[in-house]
A and B are shown apart, each in its own frame.
Chain A
Amino acid sequence: MNFETLVFYFLATILLFAGLRVVTARHPVHAALFLVLAFFTGAGLWLLLEAEFLAITLVLVYIGAVMVLFLFVVMMMNLNIEKLRNGFWSNLPLAAFVGILMAVEMSLVLMVAGKTVGSGSLPHAAGYSNTKELGRLIYTDYVYPFELAAVILLVAIVAAIAITLRRRTGTKHQDPARQVRVKREDRVRLVSMPAETLKDSDLLRAEAREGSYKEGE
């Protein structure tokens, strides 16, 4: 067993442990942190495979951006864990049984065949740039899938906005800019009206009303 294999098993053990804890951790913040650990260890595994660019992207994008956002959301949401986990323990035996069974079956199949699979590619020369090679391929040979991925992202944006954006009509919000810009003419309107001459009966009625007001007081 050479050093590389040792590193692989070391990282793989941590990865599996972290993955398991993501599912079993009681606190969502802990689960998210374990996911960070899993990603980071995965990046280490990719480095072993000489995929530096992917490893760095995983750390930068997933850990640096996605998981931090995720942590924010988890912390702000104040989740009720007990309610979410209601069915967890009652379903666990069956789920574990099915999961372990599938894992055993798959490993049995691969155990038989696995011996011949890993042909192992030769390590690249020292000056080899992973990033450059990926960039060259993405914009030439793989330009079609690359464009398709862009379209998928566009659909994601459209869908997210269409589902979440709510245009509420009739909200009574203030617009300070318009309040400042208002002129006297916008608010006060002078209306010229013909003067009215009152008849005697009207005068009498008006006096009576005044009197009743005073009594009311």
Chain B
Amino acid sequence: MTFVAPNLIPALPEIFVLIMASLILVADLFLSDRNRYISYILTQLTLLGAAWITISSGSADAVYTFNGMFVGDVMANVLKMMTYLAVAAVLVYSRSYIQLRNLFTGEFFVLVLFAMLGMMVMISASHFLTLYLGLELLSLSLYSLVALQRDSAQATEAAMKYFVLGALASGLLLYGMSMIYGATGSLEIGKVAAAIQQGGANKTVLTFGLVFIVAGLAFKLGVVPFHMWIPDVYQGAPTAVTLFIGSAPKIAAFAFVMRLLAEGLNGLVHDWQGMLMIMAVLSMAIGNLAAIAQTNIKRMLAYSTISHMGFLLLGILSGTLNGYSSSMFYVLAYVLMSLGSFGMIMLLSRRGFEAENLDDFKGLNQRRPWYAFVMLLIMFSMAGVPPTIGFYAKLSVLQAALQAGYLWLVVFAVLMSVIGAFYYLRIIKLMYFDAPLDQAPLASQPDAGMLISLNGLAVLALGILPQPLMALCAYSIQKSLL
């Protein structure tokens, strides 16, 4: 048996990120606290370098390497680019926040980079094993990021809950994968799909495995009835980590669902459609209704995440290419909004003070009109008010579900988003029509302030001109799934 060295070119971005993460890990040892910003700059440069490598080495056709375990296709490249962008934005937003809370350490950046490596592995996995390992790499880094603020009882509790439930979900997922392996005799996504297509595999065992896989996926996405960890983790984690958990990993989770359900288990589409439908309906209902009762904005946004993930499932469950691409658009739009909303919480926080209650947003218009306007844009977008990106995202998934013939589901989703509009508009009311409770001047953060302006304008601009991004999503789904 001769060994053919694998083609490393498609995996260059992953290799680069791994090398840089290890480099920063070692280099950080020799930096004094005063020079810690060098780690920060190196991390940002890593993201820039990875983006450059992805652009220059990406190809339009799918390339397989590492014996069919790694795939580089258009969807992978587009999603990876968005991941870099999201992580870079997370770092800019959280820089001053973590500096004030003694989290500005080398470990923070290294763990963020390793988490991103996990996402990249998930995004371009074409084998159940790599999917799982990427997920574990991501999850493990996230657990420890949540626990990094170890003197905070709340953060430790959140990390513990996240860890236990995450481990349970991984177990479910693995069990489901082993069932699929038993039925089809392969772990490679292409081969699994082919075996199911041929009809040789035992249908009952396949469906049995599918149930566990869907349950594990639902845990990771955070949709009802597997959503219990989301509010506690979002609230308990330091806001910088909440921002990270709430943004980039959603892109990876979308890729995960695509690779597993749309590519691997496409033959079972009628089975998983029903399961996703139940979860979508429950998520939209419980997410939106529970969010109304929250007074903590991080908790409120956590419930809003649950309802958004319900919307995301709407596109996926329609089972068409159009549905997948509208879901991809939805997830990118959601990441943009999530970055802005959690970024704003950090901009309003200062040393020893967390702007995490709804009341902290009171009268923001009088204190900083521009921030209030940006937050208004983001909240309109979350609620789905035109002409923001959130409107088109909702519109496209609803269209996809309608084309698939689920009229009742669309009507229900629209009703739920009307309910959801209430708590988003409440924030706008607090900002514009109430007197400020907190008169302390806001610290000026030029980089994060600039970014939040860009973020808010992007929400608006992509809402007025959604076509390029939509076309990109449609193109990448078409290229990757056909």
Contact = CB atoms under 8 A, between A and B. Distances in A.
B143 A159 contact: yes
Nearest to B147: A163
A164 B70 CA distance: 35
Size bracket, chain A contacts: 20 to 34
B228 to A, nearest CB: 16
Contacts of A134: none
Given A112-B204, A140-B3, A148 B121 contact: yes
Interface string B71-85: 000000000000000
Contacts of B143: 159
Contacts of A117: 182-183, 202, 205
A152 B137 contact: yes
Given A152-B140, A163-B150, A141 B111 contact: no
B18 A151 contact: yes
B69 A159 contact: no
A130 B67 CA distance: 21
A145 B18 CA distance: 14
Contacts of A110: 204-205, 208
Interface string B161-192: 00000000000000000000011000000000
Interface string B451-476: 00000000000000000000000000
Contacts of A156: 140
A142 B25 CA distance: 26
Given A112-B204, A116-B202, A148-B121, A158 B130 contact: no
A159 B3 contact: no
Contact of A159 (B11, B105, B117, B140): B140
A144 interface: yes
Given A109-B204, A143-B6, A159 B111 contact: yes
Contacts of A149: 133
B194 to A, nearest CB: 19
Nearest to B121: A148
Contacts of B236: none
B140 A113 contact: no
Contacts of A142: 67, 69, 129
A87 B108 CA distance: 37
Interface in A133-171: 136, 140-145, 148-149, 151-152, 154-156, 158-159, 161-164
28 contacts: A109-B204, A109-B208, A112-B204, A113-B203, A113-B204, A117-B205, A136-B1, A142-B67, A143-B66, A144-B66, A144-B67, A144-B69, A144-B130, A145-B127, A145-B129, A145-B133, A151-B18, A152-B136, A154-B114, A155-B114, A155-B137, A155-B144, A158-B110, A159-B111, A159-B140, A162-B105, A162-B107, A162-B111
